[in-house]
Amino acid sequence: MRLRNAVLAATSAVALVLAVPVSANAADGVFRYTYLDGGSGQRGELVDPASETCIDVPGATGADPAFAPVNRTGGTAVVFLEFGCRGDVYYTLKPGGSAGRRLHVRSVLFS
């Protein structure tokens, strides 16, 4: 009787693990921003960016950060002024959110 209960419990646990959906590895959609290249503004974007991974924004430099982010992904974007998602200066953009030219960005983390 105990062996049967143990087997039933183990089988149920395995079935539960296999039935629970795995979270997505990407924030589906596009994260857009503007950066300076030779003095002129260029549009950049991250398509389906990885979740839970810090991304240094392409085009942003130490002297010229990217700016005016637009979050058109399904995930929340936390944008940082420093590279490597470090520092005390950050801002949260919900899905569909945007910020003006005054918000400077060098890295972003999606959740």
Q: What is the pLDDT of residue 2?
A: 53
Which has more pLDDT, 95 or 17? 95
Separation between Cα atoms, residue 52 and residue 27, nearest integer Å: 9
Tokens of 34: 């503007």
Checking if the pLDDT of 72 tops 80, the result is yes
Domain locations in the chain? 29-110
Separation between Cα atoms, residue 61 and residue 87, nearest integer Å: 16
Share of the chain above pLDDT 90, in %: 68
**Structural Rg of the chain based on CA atoms:** 20
Fold category of 29-110 in CATH? Gamma-B Crystallin; domain 1 (2.60.20)
The predicted model gives 92-100 an average pLDDT of 94
Which has more pLDDT, 86 or 15? 86
Q: Which three-class secondary structure state does DSSP give residue 104?
A: strand
Q: Mean pLDDT score of the chain, rounded to an integer?
A: 83
Checking if the pLDDT of 67 tops 90, the result is yes
Q: Which amino acid is at 70?
A: V
